[in-house]
Structure 1
Amino acid sequence: MSLKPQLLQGLALATVVLSSTAPSAQAQTADKKTALSGWVSSLQYAGNQGSDFWNRSGVDIEVGGGGGITRYLSPSFDLGVYGNYETYKFSGSFNSTPANFEARTGMIDLGLKLKLNNGKILKENSFIQPYLMAGPGLFLTNSTGTVKAPGQAVSTPFFRQIRRGEVYGAAGLRFRLSPSVFADLQTGYHYPFSDEVDGVVQNESDSRNDRFLLHQVGITVAFGQMKDEDKDGVSDKKDKCPGTPAGVAVDPNGCPLDKDGDGVPDYQDKCPDVKGVAALQGCPDRDGDGVTDADDACPDTPGKAELRGCPDADNDGVIDQNDKCPGTPAGVRVDASGCPLDRDGDGVPDYQDRCPDRAGPASNKGCPEVKAETKKRLQEATKYINFEFNKAVLLPSSYPTLKDLAAVMTEYPDYTLSIAGHTDSKGDDNYNLRLSDDRAASARTYMLSQAVPADRIVSHGFGETKPIADNATDAGRAVNRRVEFDLYLTGDPNSAEVKYGPAPTIQPEPVKAAPVKKAPAKKAPARKAPVKKAPAKRK
C-alpha cells in the first residue's frame, strides 16, 4: 500500500480539524493567529542495526519535507498539526552480519508549542524566538531491507508496513523576518511505538527500540487581516494610540513618532528634532516667555511676544536694551529710543507739558510765558472799563479795551482769563457784592460775543471786601470801583482767588411782602322816594 496518499489524507484531515477551531483566518500572533509552515527535513536513526545520531559521516543524506498549520493560543502557547515525509536509507549490522533497510516514512503529529518570546522572557516581536514543543502523533512507514534474524544462518529480506502511534519532543529557533514571515530551525526526537522499522524485533522488552531525530529548516508565513481601525499598521489590540490620523508614522505601540521625546508627535511638531514644549507646537523656549527660540530676539531673557521675546521693564514698547529712558511712567507715549515724546521740543516731555504743542520753559510747565507787555495791558485795562451809574451796564467806551483783551486770549490759547469785580464801601454790603459780580459778568458776556470760549473766562464779584485805596476819600473810592483782569494757565488755581481768596457768597435778596389790599366799604342801599299818588282826577 502506498504511504504518500495516507500521509496526505491524514495531514489534510488534521488541518481541517485545527482550522475549524479558528473563528477567523488571522495570523500567528495576538493579531494574526493562524500560520502555514513548509520545510525540508532530514532523518537520523538509532536502533538494532546501529545509529547515526549526530554523525552523518559515511551515510548518504536523504532529504524529505513537510508542512504544518499552527494556531495561536496565547503569548506562551501555540497548537499545531504537522506532517513530514522522507525516504530514509541505513546500512549497519546485526548479529555481526551486514544489515540494511530503506524506510519510506511519514509522520503526522499534534504539537503544543511553548514559546519563550512570551513577553516575560523575550519580547513577543523579538527577532530570535526560541521554543519547545511536544505531543502525540502517527508514525507511518513502509520499510524494506535485509537482516540476519536470531536463529537464522544467513541474512534474509524483509518488508514491514507499520502504522503506529508515537510521541515526540522538539526544540527550535524561529527568526522574525517580518511581521508575517519567519524562518525556522528545529530538531525533534521521535519515539514510535514500534521496533520493526529496521526489520529486527529483538525481544519483548526491546519492543520499542527504534528512535529517530528529525531535523528541519523551513519558512512560516502568517496569513489574515488584523483589525486596525486607524490603518496605522498596528492592530487594535496592541494600539495604545487608537485614532491616529491617516498617513502618520507610528511606533510599534501604534503611537505617532516623537523623535525628540518632548511629548509632541512629529506630525504636530514644528521642531521635530529639538525637544520643546507642547504650547509652542514642540519648539523650544529656553527662557519660558512663550516665544520660540527661533523667533526670540532675546532667547535667554524672558520678554514679551509682541517685542519678539525681549523684556520691556517700563512697558513703553521699547525693549530694555534699546531704551535710553528706562523707568518711563506707565501709559506715557515714547519715541523710538524709549524717551517720552516732546512734540514742541522745549525739553518738557508731553506727559508733563501743559502746552505740548507750544514751547515754553519747564518753570511754566512747558507753556509760553505771558509777555511783560501783555501783563501791562491787563493791568491798565481796568482803567478803561466803565459802567452806568450804580448799574452793571457797560459804557461804550469800554468796548475797545474788551476787544483788545479778546485778542490777548487768542494769542494765549493755553490760558484762562479771570475777571474780578470790586466796589467802594458806600451802600449795603450785599448790594455792593451783587453789583460787583454783575459788572464782572457783564464784561465776560461782552468778551464771549467776541468769540472767546466760555470755558476760558471766569468772573467773580468781591464787592467792597478787597479795597486797594482809602474808601474815606472820593479819589480812593473811585480807585476801588474797578474790574481786574488776570491770565492764568488753564487748570491752575484762579489767579483772583490766589490774590484775594474765595469770592464771598452773595446772599439772596429779601423777598418784599406783597401789600395788603383793603376790602371796599359796603354802601347802604339807596332809599326809594315814596311814590306820590296822582290826585284823583275829577270827573
Structure 2
Amino acid sequence: MHLKPQLLRGLALGAVLLGVAAPHAQAQTPDRKTALSGNVGLLQYHGNMGSDFWNRSGVDIEVGGGGAISRYLSPSWDAALLGYYETYKFSSQVRAGDNFEARVGMVDLGFKLKLNNGKILKEESRIQPYLMAGPGMFLSNTSGRANGKDFGVTQIRRPELFGLAGIRLRLSDVVSLDLTTSQHYPLTERVDNLYGSPNDKLYDRFLLHQAGITVALGQAKDEDSDGVSDKKDKCPGTPKGVAVDPNGCPLDKDGDGIPDYQDKCPDVKGVAALQGCPDRDGDGVTDADDKCPDTPGKAELQGCPDADNDGVIDQNDKCPDTPAGVKVDANGCPLDRDGDGVPDYQDRCPDRAGPASNKGCPEVKAETKKRLKEATKYINFEFNKAVLLPSSYPTLKDLAAIMAEYPDYTLSIAGHTDSKGDDNYNLRLSDARAASARAYMLSQAVPADRIVSHGFGETKPIADNATKAGQALNRRVEFDLYLTGDPNAAEVKYGPAPTISELQKTPAGRPTAGKAPVKKAPAKKAPAKKAPVKRK
C-alpha cells in the first residue's frame, strides 16, 4: 500500500476552507459541540542520524498541513481526530553523506484537557491553554542513504503515541487561533533506516509545531446576547453587557428589587430614589460612597468633614490645624521632604536636612569656617592694583568647591585696605579687589546670584595702621558664608559698606558706621588711574 500525499493535502486544505467559510459558526460550547480546524505545521526529527529539535539551522524548511475535528464532551474534556502530512528531509549529523526524505502522515485520536473549564479559567476566557494525548497511526514512505548505503522507498505503517501542549486564542465569537507543540513517538526505528540501537530503544520521534484556525459548527439562538440561550433564558430582553444569572436574568445580589446594573449599592438594600443606596447621615452622599456614613461631611471628600480644609478628612488628620494653603502628606501634616523635622513651608532648605536652629538648612562645618577664615591670608594682588596674583587661584578654587558643597548659601566678599593714601582711592581699590575675586569665582561656575562683593576701604581696620605689620593685616579680602536670604554677613559684622559721597561728608574722611545702600558688586576692573602715591 502506497501513501497518497495528494489525499492528505486535500483533507488539510478542505479543513482550512471549511473553517473560513463558516460565517454562522460560534466558539465551541455545550450548544455547539463540534469544531473543525485547519493547520500549517513544521516537523522536527530526533533519531540515530541526529536531531534538529528546537533548532532548524542548516535544515531545509518544509511546511506541512493538517486538519482536525473535535467534539465537546464536558467543560474539562474534548475528543479530537487529527491528521497531518509533511515531506521531511534530514541530513545526518553523525555520518557525512547519510540522509533521508520521508513523506510523513499521522492520524491520531486525542483527548484534550481544557484549563478554561470554569475551575481554573472561565470557559469564555480569551486565552485557553490545554493539554492533549492519545494513540494514533504513523504512516511514512522513506528513502535515502544510511551507513553509507542508499536505500529505496521504505513503507512504514506503525502505531504511535503523542502528547501535545497548546493554547487557543479566541479572536471572536466565531474564530479561534490555535498554537500547539506535540511530540510523536512512532513505534518504529526505521524512519531513518537505522536500527539495532542499544537496549532495543526506539529512537525515531518527532516534534510537530502547528498554527491553525478553529471554528465551531452550529448556532444557539440568543436574542439578547447574554450568553444564555433563549431556551434557558427567563429574561430574554436583558440589555447587552448586563451580568446575568444562570436563568438569564439581571443579577440582584441584595434582593432589593433593583438589578445590579442599575444598583449603585448592589450588596446593600436601598431605595430606588438613591439608586438602591442608603444615606444614614443625610449629607446627600450615599452610604456606599460615604467614608463617614454617620457624620455629615463634604461630597468632594466622600461625605467626611475637613475642619482645616487641607484635603485630609478629620478622622485621618494628625495635624488638624494646618495653616491654609500649606501642602500636606497623607496624614494631613505639613510636608517635610528632607525629614529634618522642619516642615517644608518653614524650611529654607526643604531638600537638604538641617536643624531648626538653622532654619532647616545644613550648618557650615567648623572645618569649612576655618578654611573661609584662613582664605584671606592667601589672596594677593599686584602692587596697588586689583589684579589677582596666580598664587590666589588655588584658594579661590577651594572656595568655589565650598560653594558647590553648600548650595543654599551665599558668599560675601569684603575688600579692605590700610589707611595710607586718599580715602576715596582706597575705597575704590578695595571694592575692585573684592570684585576681582568675585569675577574669578564666577569663572569657576559659581552662580552670580550667590556671590556679593563690597569694598570697605580703610574704614574697618583689624590692626593698628601706625605699624607696617598692622597695615599688612588691614590689607585683606574676607570671605563669609550666610544663608541665602539672610542679611549680608559682612554688613552684619561691619555695617553697610560706605560710599565715596559718604566719606566726603564725614569729618577727616573717616566714617565709622554710616549707612549706605546695599550693593551687589559685579566683576569690576581696577581703576584706570593709579593713586598719586604707590604704596598698596
- TM-score tier, shorter chain, comes to 0.3 to 0.5
- The two structures have a TM-score, normalised by structure 1, of 0.44
- The two structures have a TM-score, normalised by structure 2, of 0.44
Give the structure with higher Rg (CA).
1
Q: Relative contact order, CA 8 A, sep 6+: which one is greater?
A: 2
